[in-house]
Structure 1
Amino acid sequence: MNYQFKITPKEDLDLVIALVYELDEAKISIENLTSRFNEMITQNYECAGVYVNGKLIGISGLWYCTRHYAGKSVELDHVYIMPEYRNKGLGKEFMDWIQTYVKVKGCQSTELNTYVQNYPSHKFYYNEGYEIWGYHFYKNI
């Protein structure tokens, strides 16, 4: 297959939202996702995409910031590859591409969150060299 990794153009936001909807266990409505993504793209956010023959089949949000403990950093968010493309080494290639891309942008580290019950992702990220440094706490207000 002909894979390509690139930053997804903002005009293709609806394609990103469709994949995030598949990832999201809470099933936030498409309308809410669209509203939130329209706001996100005005902030320090980009979306990296995996394309096969021109079709978007995988994504990772990239949130840029400077952290006191890590310097310039990027947080990977809503990382998703369509199930039929998994377990073929594509995720590793995607992570390698992201790391190269964000290094060029001056990032010194990457971070991410993954759901506690998503055991396959834990194994994947351990194999990619990630370490657990803490807990992610959330409070709806």
Structure 2
Amino acid sequence: MQITFKRLEANKASIILPYLDIMNQHKVPMEILKERFEEMLTQNYEAFAIYDQDEIIGCFGLWHMTRHYCGKSLEPDHVYIKDTYRSKGIGAQLFQWIESYGKEKGVTTIELNTYIENFPSHKFYYNQGFVARGYHFLKKM
């Protein structure tokens, strides 16, 4: 395996939409998903693909922001790795890369959200040095 993480230019970022669709369990119609994703690309957001040589095996996004309680931060979003590539150390490698990338950008904090029922991700993030600091609430309007 030769794993790399590549930032996608806005005009090529749609290649990860099928992975976002899988992550959303096909609950958001593709046209709406595409529309939302294109809007995200105009905000403080970068899209990345995860490659094994020339094959895309996953994706993730990074939100850039400054928060009053933690300073300049990165928020990884929609981290996805194909099933056949899981439990091979790629996630740990990805978060080491994100930390290095953040340091280059002057980031002092990495924060993220994960679904309450996604217990394997909780264990993974704890193993990466993250601590649970609160709940993420959502109200649809």
Which of the five TM-score ranges fits, normalised by the shorter chain? over 0.9
| Distance in 2, Cα, partners of 1:106 & 1:49 | 22
Is the counterpart of residue 139 in structure 1 residue 139 in structure 2? yes
Is the counterpart of residue 118 in structure 1 residue 118 in structure 2? yes
**Does the CA contact (< 8 Å) of 1:45 and 1:64 recur in 2?**
yes
Q: Which residue of 1 aligns with 2:96?
A: 96
Q: How big is the shift at 1:48?
A: 2.6
Q: How big is the shift at 1:26?
A: 5.9
Calculate the TM-score normalised by the size of structure 2. 0.95
Q: How big is the shift at 1:8?
A: 2.1
Q: Which residue of 1 aligns with 2:9?
A: 9
Q: Which moved more, 1:113-122 or 1:8-17?
A: 8-17
Q: Which residue of 1 aligns with 2:25?
A: 25
Calculate the TM-score normalised by the size of structure 1. 0.95
**Does the CA contact (< 8 Å) of 1:58 and 1:80 recur in 2?**
yes
The letter of the residue matching 1:119 is F
The letter of the residue matching 1:99 is E
Q: Which residue of 1 aligns with 2:69?
A: 69
Aligned-CA RMSD value: 1.2
Q: How big is the shift at 1:102?
A: 1.4
**Does the CA contact (< 8 Å) of 1:70 and 1:109 recur in 2?**
yes
| Distance in 2, Cα, partners of 1:2 & 1:55 | 10
Q: Give the unaligned 5+ runs of structure 1.
A: none
Matches within 5 A, 1:71-90: 71-90=71-90
2:25 is paired with a residue whose SS is coil
2:111 is paired with a residue whose SS is strand
In the TM superposition, structure 1's runs of 4+ consecutive aligned residues that sit over 6 Å from their partners are none
